[in-house]
Every structure is written in C-alpha cells, then in structure tokens.
Structure 1
Amino acid sequence: MSTPAERIAKLEDALGNGVLTIESDGERITYRSTSDLMEAIRYNHGLLAQSGSAVARPASTVAVYDPR
C-alpha cells in the first residue's frame, strides 16, 4: 500500500495532466470529475497531517516597537 505522500504525488500529477484515471498498487481508480480528484488530494493531505509526517510550519511572532 502506498503512503499518503505517494498518493498525493500521483493525484497531483494526474490533476496537472488532466487525467482522471490513476493506477496504483495494481488498482485502477477513475474519478468522476476534477472536483472529486481534488477532494481525494485534500483527504490524503489530512491523512498525512494526522500521521505526523506533514511538514510542520514554524510558529511566527510579530514584535512591534512603540517608541513612546
């Protein structure tokens, strides 16, 4: 079974090429629309975030100097 990151790469490649059928792990999936394909990408991004493998964005702080 492929990882969410591998699935995301395949899904985004298909989306970029205008293809709705993807083959992975000996399985063929045909999405009904690009909307369905984009929803699959969002779903896999969620799985990736839950697994802790997602790239964490550093927290940021804004400091404002007030010379009064």
Structure 2
Amino acid sequence: MLSTWTKIEPARNCYRFYAISLASDLFNAYVVSCEWGRIGAKKFRRKVEVFNSVDEAMAQIKCIESLRIKHDYQLT
C-alpha cells in the first residue's frame, strides 16, 4: 500500500511531498515507512516504524494521514 500527499503553495514557495507505505517483512511484522521533503529535491527524510499487527500499522497510518490533512496536504 502506498499513499502520496502533496502540498503546493506557490505564493509561499512551498512545494512538499509526503509518502506513506505499508509492507510486511520476513518476520511477520508490518513496516510503515514515511518519506517527506521538497518536490524535486534529491534528498529527503525517511522514518520507519515496525508493528506486530496490521491493525496497529493501519491505526498509525490513519493518524499520519489525518495529520497531513490538518496541514493542508492533498492526496495524489
């Protein structure tokens, strides 16, 4: 699963992206990976969290998505 969010405000020189992905690993754990930064930049930030159940991982994703909406990001 992958969801990508963008925030574009030319008047404020704001061109940002935020990507959230969910994957399972070899040890039956669920990995939520978030990447964010400026659109078009070569460098970006990444945060990885590991959860024991898919419900915990989905709850974290919903929390992150609600925060993106609060900060005026748009789903792409």
TM-score range relative to shorter protein? 0.3 to 0.5
Q: Please state which structure has a larger fraction of its residues in helix.
A: 1
| Structure with bigger gyration radius | 1
